[in-house]
Amino acid sequence: MPQPPADATAMLLIRHFETALLELFARGELSGTTHTCLGQEHVPVAVSGLLEPDDHVLSNHRGHGHYLARFDDPEGLLAEIMGRKGALCQGVGGSQHLYRPGYLSTGVQGESLPVAAGLALHLRRRRPGALACAYIGDGTWGEGAVYEALNIAALWHLPLLVVVEHNGIAQSTPTARAMAGTIAGRAAAFGIAHTLVTATDPARIRAGLAPLVARVRHGEPLIAEFRVPRLGPHSKGDDTRTAEQVAALDDWYPAVAAADPGLDRAQRDRVASVVAEVTARPMAEWDQG
Ligand SMILES: Cc1ncc(C[n+]2csc(CCOP(=O)(O)OP(=O)(O)O)c2C)c(N)n1
């Protein structure tokens, strides 16, 4: 199925943004940490296309793609990560802790789901039809707060969409070594709908998810589990997998780039000019008032 231009544009933007971040680290121009979503870009691109302006997004430590797919704001995000003028949160949030109306991320695993459930309750009361969408990884199913939130979401019929980016590894622990049973089985235990997504074409993904997300808006929570590869290290240089293991993972990028090399080049150039422009800015000043 051909990629609608907007989807390919967003996926390529996120790919080149994440690659540029790793290059900035390698050159010593960035400090702190970062977790790139290389290989997982299609997930937020597909999901964002199903979201409405009143919906709220809760993101996690691997959240640059979630933000860029929702707001197309590489300047604000890079300035935040680099602590430069124009930063989204004055440079105090960094890569993992972003806030913008309708959007919140946290680096603390599992912290977002109870907040998402609370937001979903608020939305059900004040903005009927709107939903809270929380992105979590498979490793985060080891956190007890996840189950407290799912229990309440099911019991109170909250408009909660949980997007699981199941990349099969949590930092350096293969999921198979840490998770008993399955995410589908855990959803079933709460009577929550679950769907498994393996496609990488956002339009195709949305076609499958749209009727389920429509039900979320009327109080039927959903767990959408995406099987994805994590192509990069956990953060910057801490990959415990062999190069052969990583090379064997599927990557959507070669096919999408080959389908439209001009678009790929344009997005690479856009990111390069964002990097040049933001890097030249003075440091952000934290207004503590
Ligand atoms: C409560 C908590 N414990 C530990 C960490 C350190 N940590 C950051 S990411 C991560 C693994 C996350 O795995 P997963 O949820 O599968 O997401 P992925 O990194 O694979 O996207 C860990 C252990 C954390 N951020 N929060």
Which CATH number describes the domain made up of 5-278? Answer: 3.40.50.970
Cα of 59 vs centre of ligand 1, distance in Å, is 12
Q: Quote helix, strand, coil % in the chain, to nearest 5.
A: 45, 15, 40
**What average pLDDT is seen over the chain?**
96
pLDDT score at 288: 72
Per residue in 157-216, pLDDT (tens digit) is 999 999 999 999 999 999 999 999 999 999 999 999 999 999 999 999 999 999 999 999
Distances (CA, A) of 56 to 59, 169, 188, 245, 262: 10, 27, 25, 36, 34
User: Structure tokens of 245?
Assistant: 């293991």
Which residue owns the Cα nearest ligand 1 atom 3? 109
111 CA: nearest ligand 1 atom: 1
Sorted by sequence, the CB contacts under 8 Å of residue 83 that are 6+ apart come out as 91, 94, 283, 284
Residue 7: CA count within 13 A, CB half-sphere? 24
Residue 191: Cβ within 10 Å count: 11
β strands within the chain, DSSP E: 56-59, 99-100, 103-105, 132-137, 160-166, 169-170, 173-174, 193-197, 222-227
Cα of 92 vs centre of ligand 1, distance in Å, is 21
pLDDT score at 121: 98
**CA nearest to 16, candidates 279, 272, 277:** 272
Per residue in 120-134, pLDDT (tens digit) is 999 999 999 999 999
141 CA: nearest ligand 1 atom: 15
Is it the case that residue 260 has pLDDT exceeding 80? yes
pLDDT score at 285: 87
What is the rounded CA–CA span in Å between residue 3 and residue 189?
A: 36
Per residue in 132-174, pLDDT (tens digit) is 999 999 999 999 999 999 999 999 999 999 999 999 999 999 9
How confident is residue 1, by pLDDT bands cut at 50, 70 and 90? very low
| Side-by-side strand order, sheet with 99-100 | 99-100, 103-105, 56-59, 132-137, 160-166, 222-227, 193-197
How confident is residue 112, by pLDDT bands cut at 50, 70 and 90? very high
